[in-house]
Structure 1
Amino acid sequence: MLKHLRKWFVTRFLGHSRQRARLVSKDGRCNIEFGNVEVQSRLIFFVDIWTTVLDLKWRYKMTIFITAFLGSWFFFGLLWYAVAYLHKDLPEFHPSVNHTPCVEHINGLTSAFLFSLETQVTIGYGFRCVTEQCATAIFLLIVQSILGVIINSFMCGAILAKISRPKKRAKTITFSKNAVISKRGGKLCLLIRVANLRKSLLISSHIYGKLLKTTVTPEGETIILDQININFVVDAGNENLFFISPLTIYHVIDHSSPFFHMAAETLPQQDFELVVFLDGTVESTSATCQVRTSYVPEEVLWGYRFAPIVSKTKEGKYRVDFHNFSKTVEVETPHCAMCLYNEKDARARMKRGYDNPNFILSEVNEVDDTKM
């Protein structure tokens, strides 16, 4: 009882006082900023304008969308007004009865704006139209029509691409809140649970991890966010996962694992971030997507396993209870990986007769019975 109260007190009060810096948030967003970027480098974002627009947030994208159309309508409206002004088609010039204007029924800036809108969006009410008397007006009509198609194609394509990005499909892939360390198949493993909330599959799914920590090289160089590969597998391997139901992926803590020298007592004092990636192809759109999350030492529970989540109903259907998705159960677990392997080695030596404490060598005095 005291153990649980102490753990609750540490998590409740001391855990909030020391917030660890995360490179990747739980929902997969990267917490990084770029400083002192040269002006020439910033101009590269405008060279790749398509990707820049796609990466913008919706409020900025909609601002650009509205500004592009309203700006182009108003700009060409000013040009149409200038054509009418130079050709003396406006009412203030008192044109004669036989005067043929460049554009019929342009009486001011407002009517010029309306004609610009009708031309660019091809509404064509029929009340205002270009006449054949003015080559300048015909040329301006062609230019606005071409630019209108380009603006319409770019902006509508950007909106459609933003909606259909596979990043939204990644929102329906969820990871467990915590990672756990316990025995699995006689080996000490780090386990994480991942689930697909849609019935459509992710094709060619591949899962892997990166351990981010600060290391010091033998030459004395300090490397922040040094990346170490973490191999995650399921019972069928880590390639081409059959991702129809929640999977429990695990990393075997062996001699080559960076978790090998950690223990249950020293784990909370470690400084690392475990980032887990899941790559796959969306079945419905054939677009690739990546889902990622991260775990800090406080989110890795030593000596726990995940509660069962899949059951079979009387009707023969398989039911997934997401109420227990992140629920953990405490189990008996060695407090370090080294202890587990030392225990296995000791058992193997005892079976071979090495270092058997029950074996006692007693000296026997030999008696010569040949003497008579």
Structure 2
Amino acid sequence: MKFRLKRLLQKQREFLIPLVHIKLQNGQFEILGLGVWYSYWRDPYHLLLTLPWAGFLALIALLYVATNALFALAYLAGGDCIENARPGDFLDAFFFSVQTLASIGYGAMYPKTTYANTIVTVEAMAGLVGIAVMTGLAFARFSRPTARVMFSRVAVITPHEGVPTLMFRAANQRRNQVLEAQMRVYLMRDEVSLEGLFLRRFHDLRLLRSQTPSFVLTWVAMHPIDEYSPLYGMTPESLTQTNTTIVISLSGIDETVAQVVHARHSYSADEILWNYRFVDIMHYTNEGHRYIDYSHFHDILPLD
């Protein structure tokens, strides 16, 4: 009974969640302090897919060296069991392990005892499994579809058709098309219910155009702030007091890979500027052709 109670308390301690801080950046939640109670090593597949390439390659190199070192120690434990290797020399055993793990087989060194042949058999199978796993992980990382979408650094609130309108820009940084692109915009802010319960509530922001058949160049998203808008009646001060954040989610089908791609971004209260407008980036050449000047993509001007 005491043993079962001890195991139960241990499991409860493993799932206790301490105080963590949540920060939203570029449309993605970053939870600070999460590593105190949750270890990424509990989900190694997700860890290897989300690591940066530099960290992924460094981890693979570390595992490769550590594996060969362990097998080298196993060969040394068998005494003089490798032909043409210096007895007791770690480097000879290590490089013999490298040749065995990668199925190189130069022939200069080879096992000469039953013990060594047994270790070679185990290592050869471990090498086959390791190469298959690493190949699958590398392919999974390369094959993940990604979108290269640039969002304006700030969002503005400016009159449009006589109605105050929240606006921001998005641009496709690739030369291909994103088909059937859809954009969803959400407002997050702190609220208190009638019962006094603190809530971090989401609100949908209706766009004048929330989808396009082909997202090629730029997209100016517009949300009219009318009496039905969650932003109606709010001021820059109230946005700051309620920790308001605008979250954008853009998705569509990449015509190159024929897979769904996603892009996210967010604007905090201090990145929403009132009574500003974006600089026009659509221009005409002397021959009457239209072109887009991306050098002013983020530029804004105050209203007169």
Partner Cα distance (1:76, 1:164) in 2: 33
Three-state SS of the structure 2 residue aligned to 1:261 is coil
Task: Select the residue among 199, 223, 229 that pairs with 1:257.
Answer: 229
Q: Deviations over 1:86-120 (max 9, x none)?
A: xxxx3xxxxxxxxxxx5422322332222111111
| Change over 3 Å in CA distance of 1:165–1:317 after alignment to 2 | farther
Q: Is the 8 A contact 1:119 1:144 kept in 2?
A: yes
Partner Cα distance (1:22, 1:272) in 2: 14
Task: Select the residue among 313, 329, 350 that pairs with 2:301.
Answer: 329
- State the partner residue of 2:137: 158
What is the deviation of 1:181? 1.8
Partner Cα distance (1:266, 1:28) in 2: 21
Three-state SS of the structure 1 residue aligned to 2:183 is strand
Partner Cα distance (2:142, 2:67) in 1: 25
Three-state SS of the structure 2 residue aligned to 1:326 is coil
- State the partner residue of 1:24: 24
What is the deviation of 1:268? 6.4
Q: How does 1:1-372 map to 2 (within 5 A)?
A: 23-25=23-25, 27-35=26-34, 38=37, 42=39, 45-83=40-78, 85=79, 90=80, 103-108=82-87, 109=89, 110-130=91-111, 134-162=113-141, 165-166=144-145, 169-170=146-147, 172-223=148-199, 225-234=200-209, 238-263=210-235, 271-314=243-286, 318-331=290-303
Partner Cα distance (2:244, 2:105) in 1: 64
Q: If the length of structure 1 is used for normalisation, what is the TM-score?
A: 0.66
What 5-or-longer segments of structure 1 have no aligned partner? 1-20, 91-101, 333-372
Q: Is the 8 A contact 2:23 2:32 kept in 1?
A: no
Structure with more strand by fraction: 2
Q: Deviations over 1:209-267 (max 9, x none)?
A: 221111010111111x3222223342xxx234421111101112122211111257866
Q: Which has the larger radius of gyration?
A: 1
Q: Is the 8 A contact 2:180 2:213 kept in 1?
A: yes
| Change over 3 Å in CA distance of 1:71–1:297 after alignment to 2 | closer
Q: If the length of structure 2 is used for normalisation, what is the TM-score?
A: 0.79
Q: Between the two proteins, what is the percent identity of the paired residues?
A: 27
What is the deviation of 1:130? 3.6
| Change over 3 Å in CA distance of 1:241–1:233 after alignment to 2 | farther
| Change over 3 Å in CA distance of 1:241–1:122 after alignment to 2 | same
Q: What is the RMSD of the two structures over their aligned residues, measured on CA atoms? A: 2.9
Q: Is the 8 A contact 1:22 1:273 kept in 2?
A: no
Partner Cα distance (2:152, 2:183) in 1: 15
Q: Is the 8 A contact 1:22 1:31 kept in 2?
A: yes
What is the deviation of 1:69? 0.8
Partner Cα distance (1:36, 1:67) in 2: 22
Q: Is the 8 A contact 2:157 2:166 kept in 1?
A: yes
Partner Cα distance (1:183, 1:79) in 2: 75
What 5-or-longer segments of structure 2 have no aligned partner? 1-20
Three-state SS of the structure 2 residue aligned to 1:255 is coil
How many pairs does the alignment contain? 282
Three-state SS of the structure 1 residue aligned to 2:117 is helix
